Amino acid sequence: MTHPDFILIKNGLIIDPANGREAVGELAVAHGKIVPALTPEQEAQACIIDATGKVVSPGLVDLNAHIYQPGKTARETFASGTAAAAAGGFTTIVCTPDEKICIDNAGTVRLVKELIDADACVTVLPAGNITLGGKGESLAPIGALKKAGCVAITDSVGGLVNNEIMRCALDYSKMFDVAVFDHCQDSSMTATGVMHMGAEALHLGLRGLPRAAEDIVVSSDILLCESTSSRLHLQHISSGRSVELIRDAKKLGTKITAEVSPQHLFLTDKDIGDYDTNKKINPPLREESDRRALIAGLKDGTIDAISSDHSPRTPTEKDCEFDYAPFGVISLETALAVSLEALYHCGEMTLPQVLEKLTVAPAKILGIPAGTLSNGADADIMIFDPNEEWIPEADSLKSNSRNCAVLGRKLRGRVVTTVCKGKIVFRT
């Protein structure tokens, strides 16, 4: 990829939700920063990008992506994962720990950052574990994790069910000014389930995961958040009842934020009818009523952001009976298009509203200066055609893994150029 000192993007529809900007115009970049204009001398040296008929927006910001390095690099590495992110328009991603990849000490954070510096083509921010080994038994050294560079703490896939430990984590998070992310799931209720508990699971003969497993933890998280006056972020909400609980909590002033994945906005448990293991995800695809509630929650601000929940699994891991396949779906490359299909192309939200949920909203949750095209900001830019039709195919994906829930499905909305800190990291 090219790394010009100067870039001039012309004739595109510039949409910058952070500043309320929506107009055709030019966007100038000098030495990695957005500037009001280039001098004639700079323009003569600039890389000119004609964005006629395209949308120019801030690069997307993701709160929840799993990268399996160090560890299970057959699933994903920082090189492959960030290449996928760039192809999807993401310029900043939070790398969260997994059940096999723990980030619970400063030494591991430093190792992860070294790998990021060596291989990543977009900005990657590490999140650490709340508890040692992600086991939910004793707190990890939160202050040391923050000092080493973690932007958040989370036990991610397993969730944290011990309420006393969560209370202590929330108290410490205020002391060290680090975000607490929670995967809301009572694991005692989900140990044997493989899809949403409902009529479709009964029809397919598969064991179900009940909504209550999520709703119970959302309820307890809200109460703990209120009692500690801390801020808490709830990951990949999937239940309509959880949306109601979060809405009521926000009305009372609780410092809580929430995200939803694109796949939960677009697909339901009925899409599992062919036993497609690429649609086996956690939390599971739920019913149409839940999907509608999630969209309503996005529209009224109950749910703050859209995040990929990118969870790579190799073809070998997914090539088995549905019962035995691991949970997980890759979505960095398709998140924008799936979000547009679920929200924009069907008239639920405007383009600026959708982009706000993918850019400045997640940046605000993290407290980082991203998701904006303000003068002086890092030149993190996405150029995309919201109407271009394309079909995700396994062989065309940048990720090491192929477990995409929308393979072979026609989508509208495709990224053509991604710029991260002034470097062109993806271009068709």
Q: What is the pLDDT of residue 70?
A: 86
Residue of 290, 309, 378, 380 marked catalytic: 309
What would the two tokens of residue 207 be? 């064991």
State the pLDDT confidence band at 134, using cuts at 50, 70 and 90.
Answer: confident
The structure tokens listed for 302 are: 């109950």
Query: Measured on CA atoms in the order 276, 61, 259, 297, is the torsion positive or negative?
Result: negative
Specify whether the CB–CB gap between 131 and 163 falls below 8 A.
no
pLDDT of residue 157: 67
Residue 245 three-state SS: helix
Q: Give the pLDDT mean for 96-121.
A: 92
Residue 83, pLDDT score: 98
Residue 425 reports pLDDT greater than 90? yes
Nearest Cα neighbor of 135 from 158, 101, 153, 107 is: 158
Average pLDDT for 359-367: 97
Asked if the model's pLDDT at residue 159 lies above 80, the reply is no
pLDDT at residue 158 in the model? 65
**pTM to 2 decimal places:** 0.96
- Region 94-122 average pLDDT: 92
CB count in 10 Å sphere of residue 87: 22
Domain 56-366 grouped into CATH 3.20.20.300: no
Phi, psi dihedrals of residue 330, rounded to the nearest 5°: -90, 145
Domain ranges across the chain: 6-55+379-427, 56-366
Q: What are the pLDDT digits (tens) for 345-359?
A: 999 999 999 999 999
Q: What is the pLDDT of residue 136?
A: 83
Q: Does position 1 have pLDDT exceeding 70, yes or no?
A: no
pLDDT tens by residue, 187-233? 889 888 999 999 999 999 999 999 999 999 999 999 999 999 998 99
| pLDDT bracket for residue 394 (50, 70, 90) | very high
Q: Above 90 in pLDDT, residue 98?
A: no
309 is catalytic: yes
| Inter-residue contact 234 to 259 (CB < 8 Å) | yes
Read off the pLDDT of residues 111-122 as tens digits, 9 standing for 90 and up.
999 999 999 999
Selected from 2.60.40.10, 2.60.120.380, 1.20.210.10, 2.30.40.10, the CATH number assigned to the domain covering 6-55+379-427 reads 2.30.40.10
What average pLDDT does this structure show over 134-156? 91
Range with the poorest average pLDDT among 3-12, 130-139, 140-149, 307-316: 130-139
Judged against a pLDDT cut of 80, whether residue 161 lies above it is answered with no
pLDDT digits over 300-331, tens only?
999 999 999 999 999 999 999 999 999 999 99
Q: CA geometry: angle at 13 spanning 8 and 14, to 5°?
A: 65
Least confident span in 3-17, 165-179, 266-280 = 165-179
End-to-end CA distance of the chain: 11
By the 10 Å C-beta count (0-12 exposed, 13-18 middle, 19+ buried), 347 is classed as exposed
Q: pLDDT tens-digit profile of 376-389?
A: 999 999 999 999 99
Q: Mean of the per-residue pLDDT values for the chain?
A: 95
